[in-house]
Structure 1
Amino acid sequence: MKTQVLDTLGEDGLALPAQIEAGLAANDRLKYYFSLLQVARSHADHPDRPSSSLKRERLAAGIHENGLDELVAAARQDGASYRFAGCSHLMSAIMDDARIMAAPADAEKKERLALLLKAIPHAADDKVLGSDIDTITRADDDHGDSLHRLVMDLHKVLNALQVGLAEEKIGGAAAYHLGEGDKDLVRAFMEGVNRTAPLKFDHPGLGTTATRSGTRLIIQNDIGTTDAHVIVVHVEANKVSLTYSDVHLQRLQYFQGLLEPFAVVWSNPNSNQVPTLAGGQPFFLSTATFDVKDNKDLLAYLDHLGSRLVFLIDWNHARKQLRGFLVKEDRSRLLRWAADADVGHRGFLQMGGARLIWSAVETAAVSAVRLGDRLCDVLGTESAYAFVQFVFTTASEGLRARQSDSLIRDRVRAELLNLLHTAGTRLLGTAADHAGYVFEIATAIRDQLVDPRGDTAELKDLTKRARHWEHEADLLVAGVAEAIRRRPELEPVLRLIQAADDATDSLEEATFLLSLLDDHGDRKGLEALQPMATVLVESAQEWVKALNHARHVRRHGLRDDADDFLVAIDRLVALEHDADTAERDVTVAILKTTKDFRSLHVLSKIWHGLGDASDSLKRASLILRDHVVGDVLAA
C-alpha cells in the first residue's frame, strides 16, 4: 500500500511520510497554542480568578519553551487589546505550524490557509485584539472560516493520508514506521478497542493509526465523527501521556472516571480560566499522565484505555435522552455503570433512546404517568434507575444477539408492567410496616393491663415509646401520600393506611391516659379492659397478615395466596364483632366497680379509644379487600 501511494505521488511525494509526521506533531502544538491564547485572554479579563499555566499541556505537545508557562499569569488588558509577553513569538509559531500541517494538503486548503494567515496579526508590540483571538481560535461554523476550523480539517486530511500509507494492520490499526517493541504496545491498545467496539453498533468511529516519531510511539484514535473529538496517546520510555479536549466538562470528568483503576494524573480543567470558543461556549483541555511500573503495567493500561473509548461516543446524546427518566446525578451514575459493566449506551440509542422507554410507558402505564412526569417520580428513584439499567442491558445484549427490535421492545414493556405492579406491592409493604406499629402499641397496652406497673417512670416510658411509634407511623403515611400523588390508581392504598393510622392515633392516646390512672385504686377497671385489649392485639396481628398476603396476590396467580388473604380479612371482621361484645362487657364492669368519677372518665376514654382502634382496623381491612378483589384480581 505504501509503495503504491508513493509511486503515484512522484518524486515530490517521497517526503510525504515525514510531512504527515511533522503535521501531526504540529497539530498537537497548535492545540496547545490555541488553548494558551484563550486561557491568557480569560485571565486578563478576570485577573482575580485562579489560572492555569498549561504546563502539562505544553510538555505533552512536545514544546520545551519554559517561558510560555509565564504567559497566562502576565496577560493584561490594554484597551480593546490584550498584552501577552511573547505574543509576537506565539503568533509566528502558530503560523509556522499551520504551514507544516498544510504541506501535504491539496491546493484548496493551502489557499484557505494563505487567506487566514493574512488576517493573523504579527503582534510586534505583543498586543492582540480580542476579535483576532476569536478569528484564530473559534471552532464553530457560525462565524465563517477560522484557523482552528482549518486545522481540524487538515487533521482529518493527515489522518486519511496516514491510513493510506500504512505498512501493516495491527489489530485493525493502520501502522507504519514502528520501532522495536511498538507492535506489542499497539496490539494491546487495539485488543482493548476491539473488545468493546461492538458496543458502538453501526456508529462510525474508533479508527486508529500508529507510528513512531523520534522517541515517541504515537497512537491516535478518532473516537467518533466529531472533528474535535480525537485522542492522541504518546508512549515514551516509562510514561504514557494523552491530551484530551472536549466542549463538555461532564464528559471529560466522565472519561477521567473511566481511567480511575490506574494512577493517572490529570491536569485540572475545572477552573474559571477555561478557554472559550466563539459565542462563549467553554472548551476544556486536560492532559493525563501515567507513570509505568513495568511492561506488564504498560500493556494493561493501554488495553484498558483502548477499551474505554467506545463509551465516549454519543455520550452527551445519551445523557440528554435520559432527562425524562432520572435525576441529573443518576444520569451520570447510570452512564458510568454502563461503561464499567461493558454494557454501553449506544444500544439504548440504537433502539431509539428515550422513544424506546416512552413507547413502553404509552402502552403499559398511560394512567400512571401524566404529562411532565419523570419516570423516577412515578416509580421512585431507585426503581426507575434499576429499570433504565434493565433497558440499557436488554437493548445492548439483544442487539448483539441479533434479536428483533420488537422482542427488545416487548421485554422493556413487560419489565415496566412488572415494576408498576411492584410499585403497588411496595406501597402495601409500607402499609404492612405501619401495621407493625399498630401491633406494637396494642401489645404494649395489653401487657400493661395484664401486669400493671406502679412505677411512674415505666408508665412514662410506655407513653414515650408509643409517641415515637405513632410518629414513625405518620411518616409512613406521608410517604405513601407522596407516592400516590404520582400513582392515582393506587389511591386505595392511601385510604387504607390513613384508616389504619386512625387506630395508631387512638392507641397512642390510650397509652397517655393509662399513665394518669392509679393502678391500685383502679385495679378492677384495668382488669375489665384486658379482654378488649387482647382482642385488639389479635386484630392487629391479622391486619399485618392480611397486608402481607395481599402483596403476593396476582391476577392468574396462585389460588392459595388469594385464599390466605381473604381468610385474614374474614378473621379481622369477626374480631371486630368480638371487640364490640368486649366493649359492652367493659362498660358494665367499669360502671359496677368504679366509684371515682375521675377514674370513670379516664377509663371510659380508654375503652372508647380501644373500640375506635378496632373499628379503624375493620374499615382499613374492607378498603384493602375491595382494592385487591376489584383492582388487582380483576385487572
Structure 2
Amino acid sequence: MAWLLAGAERLVYNAMQAVDSEAFRVGDRLDDVLGEAAASAYLLELLRISSMVLRQQQPVSLVADEAHLLLARMLRQRTFEFDLLAEHAAYTHALAEGLCDALENPGDAAQTQAQVLRAKNWERQADHLLMDARQRAERRARWLPVVDFLTKADDVADALEEATFMHSLTLIHPAPGLPAEVRAALCQLAATTLAAIQDQVKAIEIARHASQRADGPDSELFLQTLWRMLRAERQCDELFRQARTAMVKNLRNAPVDLMLANDLAATLENATDNLLRAGYALRQMVLNKTGMSA
C-alpha cells in the first residue's frame, strides 16, 4: 500500500529520467541498465523506504527524493559492465584451460572431438556477449569502451578455439601425435597464455570492486596484475621461438606435422598478442571509469 500511495512504478520512471540522461534512454528497462540483481535490490529498498516514510507520517514526496538518491548511488556503484567482461573472460579461461589439458593429455578420437566441440561452443558463447555489448553501445555511449575491450578479447577466444582445432588435426589417424619435445614446448606456451588469462580474470574482478577515489590497495593490485598479464606477451614471443626450434629438430622429416605444429604455436602466440591489446583496452577503460592513476 505504501508503494502504491507513493507513486508505484512512476517513482522508478521519474527517477530514471532525473538521475542520468546518459545511463537511461526512453524505453530502457531498469534491469537492462543495472542488471537483474541490482534492479531487484533497488525495488526492494524502495518498497522498504515507502513503508518507512508513510509509517512515520512524513510527506509522500520524500519517497520520490529517496528514489532519485538511491538510484544515483546504485549507478555510481554499478558493475554490470564488469559482469559482462567477467563472463567473457570466463569463457576465454575455459578455452585456454581446455587447450592445456588437450596438449598435456592427448585422448582418443572421441575425446578429441568432444574437446573441439566444447571449445567451439565456448567461443560462440563469448561471441554472443560481444554482440550483446554492441547492441547496448548503439543506445548508450558508455558501452563503447566495453565493446572495444571485448572486440580484442574475443580475438583471444577465437585464436584459442582455432588452436584447439589445429591440435586435433595432429591426432588424426594414422598420425602418432607430436613428439614429446614439441608437445612440451607447446604446453609451456599454452600454460603461459593460460596464466596471463588468469591475471586478466583477476584484473577484472579487482576493477569491479575498485574505489572511486582509487587511493586504496585495489588500485595498486589492479595495475600490478595487469602489467604481469601484459609482460606475458614477451614471454610467449620467446616461448614461440623455442617451440619452433623444437619443431625443426624433431619434425624435419614430417612436413605435415611441422606445418600443423607451427600453425598451432603461431595461433597461440597470436592469442597473446591480442591479449596484450585487450589488456591496454581494459587499463584505459578502468582508468577512465574509476579515476585510478597509472
Structure 1: gaps (5+ residues): 1-198, 200-342
Residue from 555, 573, 584 that aligns with 2:241: 584
Which residue in 1 is equivalent to 2:93? 439
Where 2:232 maps in the other structure, the secondary structure is helix
Residue from 274, 278, 290 that aligns with 1:616: 274
Written as runs of structure 1 = structure 2, the 5 A alignment for 1:177-326 is none
Aligned residue type for 2:52: E
Larger-gyration structure (1/2): 1
Which residue in 1 is equivalent to 2:45? 390
Aligned residue type for 1:451: N
Task: Give how far 1:627 is off.
Answer: 1.1
Where 2:169 maps in the other structure, the secondary structure is coil
Residue from 157, 161, 183 that aligns with 1:526: 183
Aligned residue type for 2:160: L
Residue from 20, 40, 45 that aligns with 1:365: 20
Query: Residues 485-538 of structure 1: CA distance to partner in whole angstroms, max 9, x if unpaired?
Result: 443213212221222111111111111111111463531432331221111111
Task: Give how far 1:372 is off.
Answer: 4.3
Retained in 2: the 8 A contact 1:347–1:396? no
Task: Determine the C-alpha separation between the residues in 2 that align with 1:621 and 1:512.
Answer: 25
Question: Higher relative contact order at CA 8 Å, sep ≥6: structure 1 or structure 2?
Answer: 2
Retained in 2: the 8 A contact 1:377–1:486? no
Retained in 1: the 8 A contact 2:213–2:290? no
Task: Give how far 1:358 is off.
Answer: 4.9
Query: Residues 282-332 of structure 1: CA distance to partner in whole angstroms, max 9, x if unpaired?
Result: xxxxxxxxxxxxxxxxxxxxxxxxxxxxxxxxxxxxxxxxxxxxxxxxxxx
Task: Determine the C-alpha separation between the residues in 2 that align with 1:616 and 1:419.
Answer: 33
Retained in 1: the 8 A contact 2:6–2:60? no
Query: Residues 13-66 of structure 1: CA distance to partner in whole angstroms, max 9, x if unpaired?
Result: xxxxxxxxxxxxxxxxxxxxxxxxxxxxxxxxxxxxxxxxxxxxxxxxxxxxxx
Task: Determine the C-alpha separation between the residues in 1 that align with 2:237 and 2:250.
Answer: 20
Which residue in 2 is equivalent to 1:555? 212
Which residue in 2 is equivalent to 1:513? 166
| CA separation of 1:521 and 1:406: change in aligned 2, threshold 3 A | closer
Retained in 1: the 8 A contact 2:185–2:239? no
Task: Give how far 1:629 is off.
Answer: 1.0
Which residue in 2 is equivalent to 1:546? 203
Query: Residues 575-596 of structure 1: CA distance to partner in whole angstroms, max 9, x if unpaired?
Result: 1111111112222322332222
Retained in 2: the 8 A contact 1:378–1:486? no
Retained in 2: the 8 A contact 1:348–1:391? no
Task: Determine the C-alpha separation between the residues in 2 that align with 1:521 and 1:633.
Answer: 51
Which residue in 1 is equivalent to 2:83? 429
Aligned residue type for 1:555: Q
Retained in 2: the 8 A contact 1:580–1:611? yes
Written as runs of structure 1 = structure 2, the 5 A alignment for 1:118-133 is none
Retained in 2: the 8 A contact 1:553–1:633? no
Retained in 1: the 8 A contact 2:86–2:205? yes
Task: Determine the C-alpha separation between the residues in 2 that align with 1:555 and 1:568.
Answer: 19
2:260 equivalent to 1:602: yes
Query: Residues 551-606 of structure 1: CA distance to partner in whole angstroms, max 9, x if unpaired?
Result: 10121366122222111101101111111111122223223322222112211221
Task: Determine the C-alpha separation between the residues in 2 that align with 1:450 and 1:376.
Answer: 43
Alignment TM-score, normalising by the size of structure 2:
0.85
Where 2:7 maps in the other structure, the secondary structure is helix
Task: Determine the C-alpha separation between the residues in 1 that align with 2:212 and 2:60.
Answer: 29
Task: Determine the C-alpha separation between the residues in 2 that align with 1:557 and 1:521.
Answer: 50
Could you say what the CA RMSD is over the residues aligned between the two structures, in angstroms?
2.7
Retained in 2: the 8 A contact 1:378–1:487? no
Task: Give how far 1:482 is off.
Answer: 3.6
Retained in 2: the 8 A contact 1:463–1:511? yes
Task: Give how far 1:374 is off.
Answer: 4.4
Task: Determine the C-alpha separation between the residues in 1 that align with 2:242 and 2:187.
Answer: 11
Retained in 2: the 8 A contact 1:525–1:593? yes
Task: Give how far 1:357 is off.
Answer: 4.1
Task: Give how far 1:545 is off.
Answer: 0.6
Task: Determine the C-alpha separation between the residues in 2 that align with 1:444 and 1:459.
Answer: 11
Task: Determine the C-alpha separation between the residues in 1 that align with 2:27 and 2:129.
Answer: 26
Query: Residues 318-357 of structure 1: CA distance to partner in whole angstroms, max 9, x if unpaired?
Result: xxxxxxxxxxxxxxxxxxxxxxxxx4401226xxx73x54
Task: Give how far 1:431 is off.
Answer: 1.7
Residue from 416, 420, 424 that aligns with 2:71: 416
Task: Give how far 1:392 is off.
Answer: 4.1
2:289 equivalent to 1:593: no
Task: Determine the C-alpha separation between the residues in 2 that align with 1:626 and 1:604.
Answer: 33
Task: Determine the C-alpha separation between the residues in 1 that align with 2:42 and 2:137.
Answer: 20
2:154 equivalent to 1:501: yes
Structure 2: gaps (5+ residues): none
Task: Determine the C-alpha separation between the residues in 2 that align with 1:557 and 1:400.
Answer: 40
| CA separation of 1:545 and 1:403: change in aligned 2, threshold 3 A | same
Which residue in 2 is equivalent to 1:47? none
Structure with more of its chain in helix, by fraction:
2
Which residue in 1 is equivalent to 2:7? 348
Which residue in 2 is equivalent to 1:204? none
Task: Give how far 1:433 is off.
Answer: 2.1
Aligned residue type for 1:462: Q
Retained in 1: the 8 A contact 2:23–2:33? yes
2:226 equivalent to 1:573: no
Which residue in 1 is equivalent to 2:34? 379
Task: Determine the C-alpha separation between the residues in 1 that align with 2:32 and 2:169.
Answer: 46
Task: Determine the C-alpha separation between the residues in 1 that align with 2:114 and 2:29.
Answer: 45
Aligned residue type for 1:520: P
Task: Determine the C-alpha separation between the residues in 2 that align with 1:605 and 1:456.
Answer: 21
